[in-house]
Chain A
Amino acid sequence: MMSQAKSATASKRPLTYQEVWGRIGIYTFLGVLALFFLLPLYVMLVTSFKSMDEVRLGLIFSLPQHFSLDAWVKAWTSACTGLDCTGLQVGFGNSVKILLPSVVFSILFGALNGYALSFWKVKGANVLFACLLLGSFVPYQVFIYPLVRFYAQTGIYGSLPAIVITHIIFGMPVMTLLFRNYYSGLPVELFKAARIDGAGFWKIFISIVLPMSVPIAIVAVIMQVTAIWNDFLLGLVFAGRDNLPMTVQLNNIVNTTTGERAYNVNMAATVLTSLVPLTVYLVSGRWFVRGIASGAVKG
């Protein structure tokens, strides 16, 4: 709105010299910084389409002379982690296996907690919620070792359930906050009317509250998909050797190479690892920003 007002006053008359220079200054500033932000992505993309012979020339900013997909194929099917040369597709599969249950369950728990917190009177619930929020600020390193011991004793350490449960635990604060804030904005009369009609806890949740939760659920999916896909630390510690997520495998491929570093393969692998969150980001647009804001703005 503000910018519209500004343009309305500006468009009535031709721009003064000062204003022209101002516009040039604005576009120069934004343009230079846009180049800075795009530079790494550009380098990765052009390098990933080069052959190793061309990479050795060392012109990291030049366009590929011979456009080649070899590095991408190699990164996906045969890049090596130590002696194991099965490519990033393994990590991709693992990330998907971790992602799906983690996202579904963390959102379901978030919705359920948020609903119970904002519509029902449960003694001590707000104290629990405060502890949960405080927990989300604490570095993972505080929780990791006891959780490792706990999983080891129950026999699930280094398995898919262990990493999924861990993602549910650490996603719970922000998911609960997200749904609680959203439900606080829904009209309470709706809830009261349903109770008078004799609807119980689950009936109200499933037939009234959940259908109204679609917008916030979309935000939650965007947040959890990017967060869980991009996770490195938890996957490294809890997933076990057979379920290492893509981020961990990427780092292993890049940082344990012996001999000559295949920069083109490494960069193709890096782009591949970023494709899921980047696609989510580009498709979701303003919803992504909404997720960032609602994750932390006061309730």
Chain B
Amino acid sequence: MGAELSRHVKRNLVAYIALLPMAIVVIFAYLGTMAWSVRLSFSSSKLLPRYDFVGADQYLTLFDTPRWLTSLGNLAVIAFFFLLICFLLGTLLAIFIDQNVRAESLFRTVFLYPYAMSFVVAGLIWQWVLNPDLGIQHTMHGFGFTDFVLDWVVNSEMVLYAVILATVWHGAGLVMALILAGLRGVDTEIWRATRIDGIPAWRVYVSIVLPMLRPMIITSLVLLSISIVKMYDVVVAMTNGGPGTASEVPAKFIMDNLFERANIGLATAASTVMLVTVLLVMAPVIYSQYFRKSGRAS
């Protein structure tokens, strides 16, 4: 047994060496840093890491911190509306573009270009368009509609919807591109058959075509979900968490506590909460998406 193993390693020795950088990255940069972060979340670290043990103190403090609770609530609202609107809008765009329209590639280009731009740019642009003293509201006042109000970015009740607007603008094209690619792969026989049966087109989409596009739908939802959890740049550029704490998000809470408030214990506790949440949600998705059909070498 041992001789066989060593023969196997010898035959493939170079492959083992070639995979060393990846092994180092996985073990140290991914797993090691995760473990380190989790360890620090159980310590009283402030400005510098300390390796004492204070139990769940940081977690108790964390869930007693209004700013963190606001961040979590905001993320939930953003996630719900962003996923819903992005998905519906992207799917509708794909279906409409698939109706044999003229200038199809022009429409595709227009709907996807925001996805090529950075979140910082998306945040800045929409902050200007929605800025009451500069953008749409100001222009409407200039036209004489002095009662017109569009003050989302400075209104703590509405600021989250401004962020959602900017992120939908950024991400809807992604859904459109993926769903459109899926629609192009649908068998044309389905359309002939359903037309003969007199089934309305929308029924065909909802009951037959969209269920066939499950892989594309899952892919787009996974990609959108990752961008929600990582959401930081767009908020920093657009509102910097304000007005007050009305548009704070967890990623920004962690960054502020790491680098400005010198509260490493609390920040790592918050990042551990995010880590556990992501792993719980993502592990089954990753397993079913990537490992059902595993690679040839295994």
Contact residues of A with B, CB < 8 Å?
1-7, 10, 26-27, 29-30, 33-34, 36-41, 43-44, 47, 58-61, 109, 112-113, 115-123, 125-126, 128-135, 137-147, 149-150, 168-169, 172, 176-177, 180, 184, 188, 200-202, 226, 229-233, 237, 247, 250-251, 254-255, 263, 266-267, 270, 273-274, 277-278, 280-282, 285, 288-289, 292-293, 295-299
Would you give the shortest CB distance from B38 to chain A, in whole angstroms? 9
Question: Among A128, A139, A231, A281, which residue has its beta carbon within 8 angstroms of that of B19?
Answer: A128
Rounded to whole angstroms, the CA-CA distance of A145 and B272 in the bound complex is 12
Minimum CB–CB distance for A146 against chain B, Å: 4
**Chain A proximity of B124: nearest CB distance (Å):** 5
Candidates A60, A118, A131, A255; contact of B296 at CB < 8 Å = A118
**How distant is B130 from chain A, measured CB to nearest CB, in Å?**
10
Known: A2-B191, A109-B21. A274 touches B107 (CB 8 A): no
Cβ contacts under 8 Å, B286 to chain A: 130, 133-134, 137
Q: Give complex CA distance A64, B233 in Å.
A: 30
- State A33–B96 Cα separation when bound (angstroms): 11
| Residues 31 to 89 of chain B near chain A (Cβ within 8 Å) | 31-34, 36-37, 40, 49, 89
Distance A270 CA – B298 CA, assembled complex (angstroms): 47
CB of A2 within 8 A of CB of B183, answer yes
Partner of A38, one of B25, B110, B271, B274: B110
Collect the chain B residues with CB atoms within 8 Å of residue A120's CB. Answer: 12, 15, 297
Question: Using Cβ atoms and an 8 Å threshold, which residues of chain B touch A254?
Answer: 124, 237
- Contact among A144, A289, A298 with B181 in the assembled complex (CB-CB below 8 Å): A289
Please indicate which of the listed interface residues A44, A115, A129 has the most CB atoms of chain B within 10 Å of its own CB.
A129
- Neighbour of A6 across the interface among B99, B121, B255, CB < 8 A: B99
- Check A119 against B223 for contact (C-beta < 8 Å): no
Alpha-carbon gap, A288 to B116, bound state (A):
9
- The CA-CA distance from A51 to B78 in the complex, in Å, is 37
Considering only residues 133-162 of chain B, those with a C-beta below 8 Å from chain A are: 133-136, 138-139, 142
Q: What is the interface of chain B mostly: helix, strand, loop, or mixed?
A: helix
Which of A5, A123, A150, A296 lies in contact with B192, CB distance below 8 A? Answer: A5
Q: How far is the CA of A254 from the CA of B125 in the complex (A)?
A: 11
Q: Which of B184-201 contact A (CB under 8 A)?
A: 184, 186, 188, 191-192
Q: Interface size of B by Cβ–Cβ distance < 8 Å?
A: 112
B105: chain A residues within 8 A (beta carbon) = 285
A274–B40 touching, CB < 8 Å: no
26 residue pairs of the A-B complex, CB under 8 angstroms, read: A5-B188, A26-B99, A29-B96, A30-B97, A59-B139, A61-B139, A113-B21, A116-B18, A116-B19, A117-B295, A121-B297, A140-B251, A145-B264, A230-B121, A233-B255, A250-B124, A251-B236, A270-B124, A274-B116, A274-B118, A277-B118, A282-B109, A288-B116, A289-B177, A292-B177, A299-B290
- Name the B residues within 8 Å of A118 (CB-CB): 295-297
A296 and chain B: residue at smallest CB distance: B219
Q: B254 at interface (Cβ–Cβ under 8 A)?
A: yes
Residues of A within 8 A of B23 (CB): 128
| Proximity bits, B202-233, A CB within 8 Å = 1, else 0 | 00000000000001000100110010011011
Which chain B positions have C-beta within 8 A of A255?
237, 240
Interfacial chain B residues near A29, Cβ < 8 Å? 92, 96
Q: Is the CB of A142 within 8 A of B98?
A: no
Query: In the complex where A142-B275, A149-B49 touch, is A132 in contact with B25 (Cβ < 8 A)?
Result: yes
With both chains docked as a complex, state the minimum distance between the C-beta of B192 and any C-beta of chain A, in angstroms: 7
Contacts of A296 in B (CB 8 A): 219, 222-223, 289
Given A2-B98, A125-B297, A137 and B120 contact (CB-CB distance below 8 Å): no
Nearest CB in chain B: distance from A58 CB, A: 5
B111 near A60 (CB under 8 angstroms)?
Answer: no
Checking A117, A292, A298 against B290 with a beta-carbon cut-off of 8 angstroms, the contacting residue is A298
> Are B34 and A142 within 8 A (Cβ)?
yes
> Which residue of A is nearest B37, CB measured?
A142
Q: Once bound together, how far apart are the Cα atoms of A200 and B18, in whole Å?
A: 12
Q: How far is the CA of A289 from the CA of B233 in the complex (A)?
A: 23
Which B residues are CB-close (under 8 A) to A250?
Answer: 120-121, 124
A3-B100, A116-B19, A145-B267 known; A139 vs B118 contact (CB < 8 Å): no
- Please tell me which one of the listed residues B26, B124, B255 contacts residue A135 in the complex, with CB atoms under 8 A apart: B26
Quick check: B117 and A122 within 8 Å, CB to CB?
A: no
> A2, A47, A137, A292: which contacts B178 (Cβ < 8 A)?
A292
Q: Which of A40, A128, A293 contacts B126 (CB 8 A)?
A: A40
B192 touches A2 (CB 8 A): no
Q: Nearest-CB distance from A237 to chain B (Å)?
A: 8
A201 close to B14 (CB less than 8 A): yes
- The CA-CA distance from A292 to B176 in the complex, in Å, is 11
Seed contacts A36-B169, A145-B264, A251-B124; 7 additional CB < 8 Å A-B pairs: A128-B23, A143-B33, A145-B258, A180-B295, A188-B296, A250-B120, A278-B117
What CA separation (Å) do A147 and B258 show in the bound complex? 13
When chains A and B are docked, how far (Å) is the Cα of A271 from the Cα of B240? 21
B268: interface (CB < 8 Å): yes
CB of A40 within 8 A of CB of B129, answer yes
Q: Is the CB of B15 within 8 A of A201?
A: yes
Select B110's contact among A4, A34, A168, A299, beta carbons within 8 Å: A34
Q: Please measure, in the bound complex, the distance between the C-alpha atom of A121 and the C-alpha atom of B9, giving whole angstroms.
A: 9
Q: Which residues of chain A are near B270, meaning CB under 8 Å?
A: 141
